Amino acid sequence: MKGGFVIMRDYKNLEIWRIAKDICLSVYRFTMSFPREEIYGLTSQMRRASVSIASNISEGCGRSTDKDFISFLHNSMGSLKEVECQTIIAFELGFISKDKYNEIMEEFDKLGRKLFLFIRGIKEFEK
């Protein structure tokens, strides 16, 4: 909220949401090949964390203050770091190819940088 006006946000127009959604789709696709015994373990954890990244961005857009929005963006960043950690573990267990691992890690890094800058931009706008 700036100057008493609530700015309506359409999360589908945000690049950070589109990247987060694509990361989620990638995670779902590459976890399909995980061992069956991981369905309630790493597969489930990674899928929930990846969904949470995009979901927190969209939920934050529905909040009425920038402070609340930023809080949800921080939650999104936390979920991003969670799925990044889980991806490292999955790679070291041999569940993910080197190429897929490098590709998704680049996407994690790109989204992390953009989220950081987006949060910083909102904070600067509030001043």
Q: How far apart are the first and last CA of the chain?
A: 11
| Model pLDDT, residue 1 | 40
Closest by Cα among 17, 34, 9, 28 to 93: 34
Report d(CA 80, CA 120) in Å as an integer. 17
Once rounded to an integer, what is the mean pLDDT over residues 44-68?
95
Residue 80's domain is classified under what CATH number?
1.20.1440.60
- DSSP-derived 3-state class of residue 40: coil
Residue 38 lies in a domain: yes
Distances (CA, A) of 51 to 8, 26, 29, 68: 23, 11, 13, 19
Report pTM.
Answer: 0.90
Based on the structure, what is the number of domains in the chain? 1
Residue 52 lies in a domain: yes
| Model pLDDT, residue 8 | 57
Residue 104 lies in a domain: yes
Residue 6 lies in a domain: no
Write the pLDDT tens digit of every residue in 28-55.
Answer: 999 999 999 999 999 999 999 999 999 9
Residue 8 lies in a domain: no
Write the pLDDT tens digit of every residue in 1-11.
Answer: 444 334 557 89
Once rounded to an integer, what is the mean pLDDT over residues 93-117?
97
Residue 2 lies in a domain: no
Residue 100 lies in a domain: yes
Once rounded to an integer, what is the mean pLDDT over residues 112-127?
90
Domain that holds residue 104: 13-126
- The residue whose two tokens read 């910083």 is 120
